[in-house]
Structure 1
Amino acid sequence: MGKNKFVIWTLIIIIVVGGYFGYTKFIQTPEMQNGGTTIDTSASSPKPEPPKSDSNTKDNSNTVNNVSVSEITRDMQGQYVTTSGTITTISGGKGHTFITLKDINNDKTIKGVLFRQENEENTGRKELLEQNAKTDNIVNIEGKVDIYENELEIIIKKVY
């Protein structure tokens, strides 16, 4: 019985030691495998910064600019904006909702579109547009500036 215990313990030790060395070799960095040492700098190393947006790019989707309707220009295509105004016209087709938003300070207008899919994902926006169109209340709209058929428009994402 003594010889069998010795063989079993020897096998257990070989498995444990082999597993340990196999594991440590698996997690070693290339510097460690070549006999070099590494220093853990993760606590002191700076975190990577997000890419800086170039003001000349068309898609500044990380930023929402608060602007009046009259300040929206073709150069802002692809940018997200928040603007306010009164809804002068509202219509629909194929489930989409189309509005004309008038600046609260002058007669400047911009078209807006709420696509059917957007409304289905977050219901209530179409109803809010319809309510504000009937009452001439000021409505806030957040969306992406676009050009469609050579005219500025806002693809509506939020209404409040």
Structure 2
Amino acid sequence: AREAEYELLPISVDQGLGVLVWSPLAGGLLSGKYHRDSPTARQLGGWKEPPIRDVDRLWRIVDVLSDIGKARGISGAQVALAWLLGRPAVSSLVIGARNETQLKDNLAAASLSLSEEERQRLDSVSRPPVLYPYWHQQFTARDRFGPADKVLDRSHA
């Protein structure tokens, strides 16, 4: 979920606050180990957390995470975590590794730098829709945007 980009991340940037992201892999959904044809045990059991409002969008994101990971020889989890660590105001992540292997894999994301092309690919499949008043501001005040205003990607408004 990227809804925090509407108001929470911009106010954090404006006020110089760090954001601690909880459940950055969405209960493992963004780890790269699950795909369209292999739902998680939680999903099969009717677990509704986290709430997935657009299932096809979720799997498009997972596809891109997996593609980038495969091209680099790393896990989709590392890609997802590195992307988050590169976002404005994000200072740290709360990871939930189940074993030492997952912990080491997750920690490796801290030293991973994604290319601009990789970040753009992930942004294009995951960005939230630009809602009002944000699309209106894009047309009326773009020339006055500061760093906090630029947290929400309005390039598709």
Q: TM-score range with shorter-chain normalisation?
A: under 0.3
Q: Name which one, 1 or 2, has greater alpha-carbon Rg.
A: 1
Q: Normalising by the residue count of structure 2, what TM-score does the alignment of the two structures yield? A: 0.23
Normalised by the length of structure 1, the TM-score is: 0.23
Q: Which has the higher contact order (CA 8 A, sep 6+)?
A: 2
